[in-house]
Amino acid sequence: MILSVITMFLSLAFSGRCSDVYTRNDFPTGFAFGSAISAYQWEGAVDEDGKMPSVWDTFVHSRNLDNGDKTCDGYHKYKEDVQLMVETGLDALRFSISWSRLIPNGRGPVNPKGLQFYKNFIQELVSHGIEPHVTLYHDDHPQYLEDEYGGWTNRRMI
pLDDT in tens, 57-81: 999 988 877 888 889 999 999 999 9
Give the range of the structural domain holding residue 115, as residue numbers without chain letter. 40-157
Q: Is 134 left (phi over 0), alpha (psi -120 to 50) or beta?
A: beta
CB of 97 closer than 8 Å to CB of 110: no
Q: Is residue 52 part of a domain?
A: yes
Its pTM stands at 0.84
Give the residue-averaged pLDDT of 33-52: 96
Q: Is the pLDDT of residue 38 over 90?
A: yes
Q: Is residue 121 part of a domain?
A: yes
pLDDT digits (tens, 9 = 90+) for 96-151: 999 999 999 998 899 999 999 999 999 999 999 999 999 999 999 999 999 999 99
Q: Considering its fold, how many domains does the chain have in total?
A: 1
- Picking from 91, 88, 119, 113, the residue whose alpha carbon sits closest to that of residue 101 is 113
In this prediction, residue 19 has a pLDDT band, given cuts at 50, 70 and 90, of low
Helix, strand, coil tally for the chain in percent (to 5):
50, 10, 40
Q: Is residue 83 part of a domain?
A: yes
Q: Is residue 105 part of a domain?
A: yes
Q: Is residue 16 part of a domain?
A: no
Q: Is residue 7 part of a domain?
A: no
Q: Is residue 103 part of a domain?
A: yes
